[in-house]
A and B are shown apart, each in its own frame.
Chain A
Amino acid sequence: MASAGVPRPAPEGGDSQSGPPSRSVSATRSGSSRLAAFWNARWMRRFRRDRMAMAGLVCVALLVLAAVFAPWLAPYDPAEQHIIYRLRGPSEMFRLGTDEFGRDVLSRLIYGSRASLAVGLLSVLLAGVGGTIIGGISGYVGGRVDQVISNVVNILMSFPSLLLGLMVVVALGPGTTNVVIAVALSLLPNFIRLARGPVLALREREFVQACRALGASQTRIVVRHILPNILGPVSVMSTLWIATAIRTEASLSFLGLGVQPPTPSWGHMIRSGVNNILSNPWLAIFSGLALTVTVLAFNVIGDGLRDALDPKERS
């Protein structure tokens, strides 16, 4: 009563210990069983048990909801000025107080989450895609190309991302799009290094050599066999670097070189909080708190994912 299909080998590098129960008998796995396998994978179960990481996930979910539904959640228009209520502390009318133009801090914080999340996610996506391509080429092609790329990456890695970001902003000028590019470029060396290592190792593995022996084209080997295997580490580290990206954006905006007013951004709000610290310290406190909680949330998710995937290396 053996099954008709030839048993398929487990996908390389994936979680092969996920256990047999969810594997279907037919040769192709349906979408839902794939999802179940993902959900029940050993690392996923470890990750789900990590209470800190789960709390971080909830935080990020709430933040995304706040960013998406900002117009419905914010009590005021973020640009509406209530001049007679300038720099007030928290009150019944303005839950978190007002800034130097009498704008509602809570509404501006809710809208500000859009800038932080957009810059954080977009720049990491950009750096992730670019870094994986460059790092992949570097590792796969090897030789002189690899040497040059690695050396440049090593040099750039020794520069803090804020300094690299500053340099790019100087070249492009401030503004939301340019900040995304600046933050992405400042993260790029990290992603190149991250992608290069595994590709270098994978190139020599038997299954890749087997593909080559079977006459598969280079493109096919890279896209079908190598790329799927490096997506894991890249996506895990992405979460940690979203935290860095959000912090870099806030730092640039704090210096007046990032997202430009009147678009609400947390970094800029903290700056105006510093400028008005004597009249309304709450402005700086609340906007800094929003930023800290967000970065913390992404950090604990990243830590949790790393611990779950690699239980040996806990930090």
Chain B
Amino acid sequence: MKAYITRRLVSIVPTLLIVGSLVFFVMRAAAGDPAVAMLGASATAESIARLREQMGLNRPLVVQYAEFLLQALRGDFGRSLATGRPVAEQIFAAFPDTVELVFWGMLIGTLIGVPTGIVAAVRPNSVLDYLSRVVALLGLSMPPFYLGILLLLIFALNLGWFPVISTPQPGFWGRLHAAFLPSLSLGLVQASFIMRMVRSSLLEVLQEDYIRTAHAKGVPPSRVHYRHALRNALIPVITVFGLYLGTLLAGTVLTETVFNRPGMGRLLVGAIQQRDYPLIQGGLMIYAAVIVVVNTAVDILYGFVDPTIRYD
């Protein structure tokens, strides 16, 4: 088990390396010459040459690449072209607002998705099952930003219960109040994914022989469902948890735009629109790192939850 965890942790390194390389070369392909990108098209050849020298762009690409990786490792992504402030500083200022959305979104998604998935699987083809499947299908098909717009129209514009521009207010309740609608729009979409996964996984487990045995030996149905079936059914759900978190994180890019809310997503999209390459580079790296770390954590958790997994 220890070896398994160690191996999973070690595997983060090559993964981040591949992602880092991808980001570096994509950005180079996009920006072309960072010096030109920084000074603009009207700059003279001399000033570009001077900046290239300063930025170390005359050195071989391999050296620059190695330096980028080393700096990234230290959390140094250079300075933003637009504001001149360090990229890392801007990212870490925006990060908590996004994490807040992801946390509440995942919580809402799990609290709604898991119970409805169970109900749907335990009573397949019942009205409840049918209803929850239709709603889940709708949730899957509705882009998260559209759901956000509808919530905004109903609860902020018509009923006035929530602010239209959800800038976080000081204090726990202020933050929660501002985060509620964006989190709900993310969480409901998330619930659709989770509900479908729980349902199909539980349905499959309920057909296993050991479930029939449990029923036959007189175990009460609720105990069969929750003790015998659910535990096994949740294993595959946990494996895709990392994947769900990734989509949720990507969803915040859109949700933050709809609700005019500060955060990583808004920062990244703004950087893309302004062609602020160091900021884009840093933002993408942080997203990648979060996803890789979460996936590794889920893998390790999976090892604990599923005793049949081989550790060698």
Contact = CB atoms under 8 A, between A and B. Distances in A.
B284 A167 contact: yes
Interface stretch (A19-27, A157-165, A222-230): A157-165
A170 B272 contact: yes
A299 interface: yes
A4 to B, nearest CB: 48
Given A162-B253, A296-B141, A284 B149 contact: yes
A152 B22 CA distance: 11
Contacts of A247: 143
A158 B257 contact: no
B26 interface: yes
Contact of B280 (A162, A170, A254): A170
B146 A155 contact: no
Interface residues of B, number: 49
Interface string B220-258: 000000000000000000000011001101110110011
Interface in A157-184: 157-163, 166-173
A155 B157 contact: no
B153 A281 contact: yes
The interface size bin for chain A is 35 or more
Contacts of A8: none
Nearest to A273: B149
A170 B143 contact: no
B146 A314 contact: no
A255 B26 contact: no
Interface in A261-292: 270, 273-274, 277-278, 281, 284-285, 288, 291-292
Contacts of B142: 288, 292, 295-296
B141 A277 contact: no
Contact of B273 (A256, A284, A296): A256
Chain A facing B: main interface SS: helix
A59 to B, nearest CB: 11
A279 to B, nearest CB: 11
B188 to A, nearest CB: 13
Report which residue of A169, A251, A296 has the largest number of chain B beta carbons within 10 angstroms of its beta carbon: A251
B5 interface: no
A127 B152 CA distance: 36
B29 A171 contact: yes
B269 A158 contact: no
B138 to A, nearest CB: 7
Nearest to B295: A158
B145 interface: yes
Contacts of A250: 143
Nearest to A292: B142
Given A277-B157, A314-B203, A270 B253 contact: no
B283 to A, nearest CB: 10
Interface string B180-208: 00000000000000001001100110000
Contacts of B22: 167
A92 interface: no
A161 B247 CA distance: 8
Report which residue of A158, A166, A300 has the largest number of chain B beta carbons within 10 angstroms of its beta carbon: A158
A153 to B, nearest CB: 11
Interface string B281-300: 00010011001100100000
A155 B141 contact: no
A313 interface: yes
B149 A167 contact: no
Given A171-B29, A171-B30, A254-B254, A277 B149 contact: yes
Interface in A106-125: none
B143 A255 contact: no
A178 B164 CA distance: 34
A194 interface: no
A28 interface: no
Nearest to B143: A247
A97 B30 CA distance: 39
B23 interface: yes
A299 B141 CA distance: 7
A60 interface: no
B199 A315 contact: yes
Contacts of A281: 153, 157
Contacts of B82: none
Nearest to A247: B143
Contact of B200 (A168, A254, A292, A313): A313
A308 interface: no
7 contacts: A162-B247, A162-B251, A163-B253, A254-B143, A255-B253, A281-B153, A292-B138
The 10 closest A-B pairs by CB, nearest first: A160-B250, A296-B141, A288-B146, A162-B250, A295-B141, A171-B30, A315-B200, A171-B26, A160-B246, A160-B247
Given A155-B18, A171-B26, 20 more contacts: A152-B18, A155-B292, A158-B295, A160-B246, A166-B284, A168-B26, A170-B26, A170-B272, A172-B30, A250-B143, A251-B145, A254-B145, A255-B253, A255-B269, A273-B149, A281-B157, A284-B149, A284-B153, A288-B150, A292-B142
